[in-house]
Amino acid sequence: MAAPVDLELKKAFSELQAKVIDTQQKVKLADLQIEQLTKTKKHAHLTDTEVMMLVDETRMYEGVGRMFILQPKGVIHNQLLEKQRIAEEKIKELE
């Protein structure tokens, strides 16, 4: 009589153990993504800080693939702010 109960408990325990391992892997992945997004956000913020200190007439180029495109300071500033905003939203989603 004890054997069937033990088999059911073993099965339930192994399923629960598999769920725990899966959840732990998902948490580790989310932590890594949050860390990467935090670095991206910080990089964009620091770059924007440096860009804003430059004179408005400074020639700025945006890297696109293997080429660079001349862009006004305002466009570069807006792109960096958008990059920060997107990173912040994704961090909130992952948390």
Please report whether residue 3 resides in a domain: no
- Beta-bridge mates of residue 60: 71
pLDDT tens for residues 64-77? 999 999 999 999 99
Half-sphere exposure of 70 (CA within 13 A, CB side): 3
Q: For residue 82, count other CB atoms closer than 10 A to its CB.
A: 11
Length of the chain: 95
Task: Look at residue 2 and tell me if it is in a domain.
Answer: no
* Residue 18, domain member (yes or no): no
pLDDT of residue 5: 67
Residue 1 forms part of a structural domain:
no
Return the CATH number at 59.
Answer: 1.10.287.370
For residue 33, tell me if it sits in a domain: yes
Query: Does the residue 69 lie in any domain?
Result: yes
Tell me the three state secondary structure of residue 87: helix
Q: State which residues form the domain around 69.
A: 26-94
Q: Three-state SS for 84?
A: helix
pTM above 0.75, yes or no: no
In a domain, 17, yes or no: no
Question: pLDDT below 50 — which residues of the chain?
Answer: 1
| Rounded-to-integer distance, Cα 40 and Cα 66, Å | 21
